[in-house]
Amino acid sequence: MKLATLVRTPRPAHVFAADEGGLIYGRHGRQRDTLERVERQVMPSGWYQLGPVGVLQVERQPVADALAALLPQLDPRPNRASLVVPNGWVRYLVLDVEALPRQREEAEDVLRWRLKKLLPCRPEDVRMDYLPLDRAGRVFVELALDRPLAALEGAFETAGVSLGCIEPAVMALTALVPPEAQPALLVTVEDRTFALVLIAADRVLLARHKALPVDGARAGQQLSQELARTVAHAREQEELAGVLTLWLAPPDHPAAVAATTWAAGQDGVAVRRLTVGEGRVPALPPLPTLPLWAMLATSWAGTP
């Protein structure tokens, strides 16, 4: 499932993913349901910094060095690519707006005016995408600081690669949730963080990204509490009746196991384990699972 109401352009066959350890490159197969090649270029830790509005700063030189080492290995060498970024780079809000203009530029002006009292920076300094919700006046907003994203784009542009869509991993992964499974709650868990995306009628209704405690038991408890709050919101505020399916990725993470246990005691909550199918991505144990799956999902044209 792609959230077609978000602004998207046709995706190139090439995709990069950024994480704390560096850059991952992937090339989609002709049918866009596999990654037929994956390469990794390590970068020094601390090449980016996070702040209260997601990514705060990107060091351009490490990115340029990584691309200089990586691109000569690729044939064909990409000139257009998508980019998957860590979930922590982006912030999400739901704003109440009485009337949103139809023209995009005017609508963004209205949203930026509403953000003035909510952000610790000038609204003009953020890059945003938005999605009107079914209810009149409610708008889902996805935003990040423009300057670090521009620095990243500049490093790629200098290397001869034009970046099209830049999206956080969890939003890319929504493409792997079967459309018939809605309403759905996508739950992604990494070492120290988790992200939730509530989906119904091909629309994102809510997204959250939070840190997890180091202790495994506490991490599972915190995730379960957040799931309870999110499901309550889905029932009471979004009026989602019937079965709500939790899609867990990766399915074997200890915190995901705790989420399965929690869901077993809830009425109207089902659990499914998100998978991409055998052979969809190369078997490369050193590489983290979620970035690979998110890279695959950027041009997904298969069936999990």
Supply the pLDDT for residue 60. 96
The values of phi and psi at residue 113, to 5°, are -65, -40
Confidence of residue 250 (pLDDT cuts 50, 70, 90): confident
Q: How many CA atoms lie within 13 A of 243 on its CB side?
A: 11
Q: Is the model's pTM score more than 0.75?
A: yes
* pLDDT tens digits along 189-225: 987 899 999 999 888 999 999 998 888 788 889 999 9
CA pair distance 21, 63, nearest whole angstrom: 11
Q: Check residues 169 and 97 and name the one with the higher pLDDT.
A: 169
- Residues 148-154 have a mean pLDDT of 97
Per-residue DSSP letter, 253: S
Confidence of residue 280 (pLDDT cuts 50, 70, 90): confident
Q: Show the tokens assigned to 124.
A: 């003009």
267 with 21: CB under 8 angstroms?
no
Confidence of residue 99 (pLDDT cuts 50, 70, 90): confident
What percentage of the chain exceeds 70 in pLDDT?
A: 93
CA pair distance 111, 130, nearest whole angstrom: 9
Rg over alpha carbons for the chain, rounded to the nearest Å, is 19
248 with 187: CB under 8 angstroms?
yes
What is the chain's mean pLDDT, rounded?
89
What does CATH list as the number for 178-273? 3.30.420.40
Closest by CA to 93, choosing from 71, 55, 122, 119, is: 119
CA pair distance 281, 278, nearest whole angstrom: 8
The domains of the chain are located at 93-142, 178-273
Q: Show the tokens assigned to 31.
A: 């049918």
Does residue 236 sit in helix, strand or coil?
helix
Cis peptide before 250 (omega within 30 of 0): yes
Instruction: Report how far apart, in Å, the C-alpha atoms of 193 and of each of 29, 249, 285 are.
Output: 31, 12, 20
Q: Is 70 exceeded by the pLDDT of residue 303?
A: no
Closest by CA to 24, choosing from 277, 286, 276, 274, is: 286
Supply the pLDDT for residue 6. 41
Supply the pLDDT for residue 302. 63
Supply the pLDDT for residue 180. 76
